[in-house]
Amino acid sequence: MLLAIDVGNTNTNLAVFKGDTIVSDMAITTKTPRTADEFAATFRELLRVNGIATEDIHSCIISSVVPGIMYYLKGGIFKLFGVHPLEVGAGIKTGVKIKLANPKEVGADRIVDLAAGYNIYGGPVMVIDYGTATTYDLIDADGTFMYGLTCPGIRISANALWHDTAKLPEIELALPPTILANDTISSMQAGLLYGTIGQTEYIIDRVKREAGLKEMKVVATGGLGELIAGATDKIDVYDRALTMKGLKIIYDKNR
């Protein structure tokens, strides 16, 4: 079995593949400091709870946007499984060509999402990831990463509202039935969620127009992406496991 790990700024997501099928997925908090021993113990317990034996894991691939934890994370993986993980980065075959001013600045998570978007859905395709940041990335019909936009994520915007204002409360991020809000909580929910929907629709339309790609597919992923995708017809597909599928695709290209 293959263990795929995506280290994000907020959460670290894990998926176990048997062949091409995800048999289990899990998540831990990224910002909790852990030693190699603590990573090993955490992963052992997660796998046990999900009915997977550690000896069944024969390989591992990681994408990460948090370099500070990688030494201990890779140490924990080797301690538990006895394997050195493949890390998405320079020199790794991804199937994605990068036509940006500074290719080395592109986060591993974005490359992984684009590898999945292009290989599964074809190009041209825009991949939107509603994570800590919301990213809009475009790959053309030849598999070249052409353009990318980065916006504050929904949770970042929400945290700014309730931490930087004296009277606004912390709220559940849910889509209210109407944008015509008449109380504080629904007002915040409508502003955050319908505001993101408006941003999404505008960016998709503008990119299609400026890039001349009327037939561009749009694929969304990320924790809150399902809420947005379900409220607009501008998104063609919501794929919750897109990043993990991308890691499996890249692993297979480098076997």
Within 8 A by CB and 6+ apart from 145, the residues are 96, 97, 98, 99, 100, 106, 110, 111, 114, 137, 138, 139
Query: Backbone dihedral region of 82: left (phi > 0), alpha (psi from -120 to 50 degrees) or beta?
Result: left
Please tell me the distance from the alpha carbon of residue 234 to that of residue 7, in angstroms, as a whole number: 28
DSSP run (H or E) holding 127: strand 125-130
Which CA distances in Å does 235 have to 9, 172, 220, 232? 25, 24, 7, 6
> Known catalytic residue: 109?
yes
Catalytic, out of 6, 25, 109, 205? 109
Do 183 and 197 touch, CB atoms closer than 8 A? no
Q: Which residues are catalytic?
A: 109
